[in-house]
Amino acid sequence: MTCKRKVFGIGFQKTGTSSLGAIFDKLGYQVASYHDFRHFASRDNVDWDEISALALEIATRRDAAKDTPWPLLYRELDAAFPGSKFIHLTRDTEAWIKSAVNDFGDYPNAVHKAIYGVPFPKGHEEIWINRYERHNAEVADYFRDRPEDYLCMRLEDEFSYEAVCEFLGEPLVGTGAPVANTRLRKRINMLWRRLTSSI
């Protein structure tokens, strides 16, 4: 049974979620991520209620969560786990969509389809951008009067060990801006996803 106060990363994928997860790891949090939902990806469709139910069950056993599909569940998580903290990473929109297209291209993913309405970003850039920007606006509005529960940081110039640790009331486990997802690691992960989906 875990005892840490729960914390949820609610910034979309490609906004520094791997780096946020690395901070959680260093703090000793048990972290949930996209890995728990990979089995949905190869479907033609996945029902959002199924994603939500699995996420809420997983969250009872973990201290923290980040990456897809966790950002879309902030309302449910807030209701289910009162007193939780929420960290919202954002990124320049053009840099974000470029990174998404580079990583996901035109490779179909049912979880992406459930979030964006289309299964991949290449050729659907405006749809992905609109969903990304709508999410950022909705989250900021939802938490607008709750600075004790909500921290929003731009990846480019605000995201740091210091900001995260201070917000969580945890000891400092690093300095400056964390970097956990290099270009090589991204390519390896993409190749692995394609290989395992064809087995």
Interval 129-167: pLDDT, tens: 999 999 999 999 999 999 999 999 999 999 999 999 999
How much is the pTM? Answer: 0.88
Give exposure, 85-111, as e/b (b: 16+ Cβ within 10 Å).
bbbbbbbeeeebbebbbebbeebbbbb
- Give the residue-averaged pLDDT of 14-33: 96
d(C-alpha 114, C-alpha 133), whole Å: 17
Instruction: List C-alpha distances in Å: 141 to 134, 135, 155.
Output: 11, 10, 20
Using only C-alpha atoms, the chain has a radius of gyration, in whole angstroms, of 16
Report the chain's mean pLDDT, rounded to a whole number: 91
